[in-house]
Structure 1
Amino acid sequence: MEPPIQAVPATDDREVAMVWYEALREQGIEGIVAKRGGARYPSGRGWTKIRHADTVDAVVVGFTGPRRRVRRLALMVGDEGGPVRLSARLDPVLAARVSAVLVGVETGLVVEVLAGSGRHGTLTVTRMR
């Protein structure tokens, strides 16, 4: 059986798009997609996803890669004491800064992350605290 075709709202008015972006968050919509007016659907090139994300603090409890060249961080988000989650791959400049701190730190490093609200809930490290 073919998946159903679903019409979605579209606008070329930035103000309307911003209202949708803010208002639809409460309904669980993860964000909006922006593209050039003439861009075709199948190619997908030139489309930008703009997802909701909030910054929160996360405690670094581990990492992947060598200590001097950290790739991703194992993080415990907020005060919830929930499951450890792996961050997205670190930006090279931030990775160098985090690696330098990790050489001399065993525990207690706190970083700020963008906690994505999408299906995958990606944690993107933005800076050290």
Structure 2
Amino acid sequence: MDYCLFQCHSETVDADVVGYTGTPQNPRVLAVRLPDGRRVMSQRLTPVLSAQARAHLKQSGPGRHARTDTGERYTTTAAGLVVEVEAGTTRHAVVTVSRVR
């Protein structure tokens, strides 16, 4: 029997990357805009996903500081990077990047 202990309800959606934490050479977390317009932070990126996001972030030039809807700080990036995420459907978004589009 499979038990869901932490996050039972999630859906896979495409999200626009609006920023990141870390450096352009080593992004740790992505700030994404979900289809409903909420800006939230993803879970920590795997090394493979971080490397895939790196090329876009380095090309987008210096960003500015911004905050998610809940006040978390991130550095903005140019539009154009889309990621597939698993987004929890509960009140508190838990967003995990599964791949870079």
- The TM-score with structure 1 as length reference comes to 0.57
* Bigger fraction of residues in strand: 2
1:104 alignment partner in structure 2: 59
Conservation of the 8 A alpha-carbon contact between 1:69 and 1:96:
yes
Distance 2:6 2:21 in 1: 27
Distance 1:64 1:121 in 2: 17
Distance 1:90 1:72 in 2: 6
1:9 alignment partner in structure 2: none
Kindly, what percent of the aligned residue pairs are identical?
44
1:64 aligns with 2:21: yes
Alignment-mate amino acid for residue 95 of structure 2 = L
Count of residue correspondences: 84
Unaligned runs of 5+ in 1: 1-13, 18-31, 34-47
1:125 aligns with 2:94: no
Query: Considering only aligned residues, what root-mean-square deviation do their CA atoms show, in Å?
Result: 2.0
**Structure (1 or 2) with the larger CA radius of gyration:** 1
Unaligned runs of 5+ in 2: 61-77
Distance 2:88 2:39 in 1: 15
- The TM-score with structure 2 as length reference comes to 0.70
**RCO greater where, 1 or 2, for CA within 8 Å and sep 6 or more?**
2
Residue number among 31, 48, 51 corresponding to 1:93 in the alignment: 48
